[in-house]
A and B are shown apart, each in its own frame.
Chain A
Amino acid sequence: MKILVPVKRVIDYNVKPRVKADGTGVDLANVKMSMNPFDEIAIEEALRLKEKGVAAEVIAISVGPAKAQETLRTALAMGADRAILVQTDDEVEPLGVAKILAAVAGEENPGLVILGKQAIDDDSNQTGQMLAALLGRPQGTFANEVSVEGDSVIVKREVDGGLETVKLATPAIVTTDLRLNEPRYASLPNIMKAKSKPLATKTPADYGVDTTARLKTLKVAEPAVRSAGVKVADVDALVAKLKELGIA
């Protein structure tokens, strides 16, 4: 089967985002951008399923600006077979991305779509679940372990109280949590090889999807800052503080 893996180009997770002075958003100019960490885990899981002989082809896809090509090349360097860029300079909301992915899934018929559970820029945590709804297929969100058995996929999910396991009929949608795997680094030869792997460029209009935003961002502001308090000298002083707070 084929596995489709959507990836998003986001601000690198090590960079502290700065809110623009005019309150219109976060400053992305001259900031290091990388693949969303949860999407790296998704690519890795797809590659492992291919290495186990479960999947025949891993297709990476990104909805974003021309520069999202770099993110797709990273996915190809990790081992994806080919890539699709659905190019747009608009900020596409999760619902719009899910509609594009649903159209692509209609053409490619993947047995699994594996997505990161959330992108670390807008922290929406929606796209996978929305895609599952649009395709009328089951969803295994926040995956901690994935195994394909015949025409089912067993997903162990990270939930608030611990773990739970669900069995989904394929085709299915899986979203990754942090502990699913540790993504590989692309080796230099593979980075070179990735340059010649196929990368198709499309637009949302090619799939007949209207990506007009439904949400309007009125303002982006810095959160309230906490100021540093006092340092106490020893445990006795800390006990006194706890007593003041009424918890000891």
Chain B
Amino acid sequence: MSRMPAPDLRRLHAVTDNFFFWQGLRWIPMGFALMVSSIAMMPGVPLSKDVRPWIGVPFMIVALWLSTSVLGRYYARHFGRVRMDLSRHKTRTTVKWFVVYPAMLAAIIVDGVWRPPVLLSALAFAGAVEAYRESTGGGRLHYAVAAIGFVAFSLLPLLGVLPNGMAAVGAVIGLTGAVYVVGGFLDHRELVRILGSNDASDVSTV
């Protein structure tokens, strides 16, 4: 494809190309669910070990329902519908499933089992957040800030601020939830800015 001349056109192209990902409110419920899961994993929480891993599950089910059904309808009604061209994102999908997710999982296992002084999961999540930002249209500097936050977080066990191991992984998941919530809110604000805040009707006159 040729380069586009104007930054505004590039932005229109990027938003349309990644419309689903820019619907920020969709990510907020999942962020809260991740934060609940994280809190449940904290050592001081009075829950039995058998229950802890499952506390977040009902929250995630509700979050998924809110995200796909309620908020999906909200975006369709107020911002319209875009059918993604999946063939444009083969590389992103491949890298996501065969590089990013396995790296995140491997880092969590390493942190949980071998307890290295630097949180590898936080570093992996930092890379994932930055890859997400880049591959879904760029811009949105809040994700770059979040990635830097994850890198800083990875050093906390080394500095003696946070114990390493699964408790630290739980904290990383909580931080991920917070990134979902704040990032989602800011993405939505950006989408409203680009698509205008005026309400339009979805009945066309063509």
Whether chain B is bound by chain A comes out as no
Enumerate chain B interface residues (CB-CB to A < 8 A): none
Enumerate chain A interface residues (CB-CB to B < 8 A): none
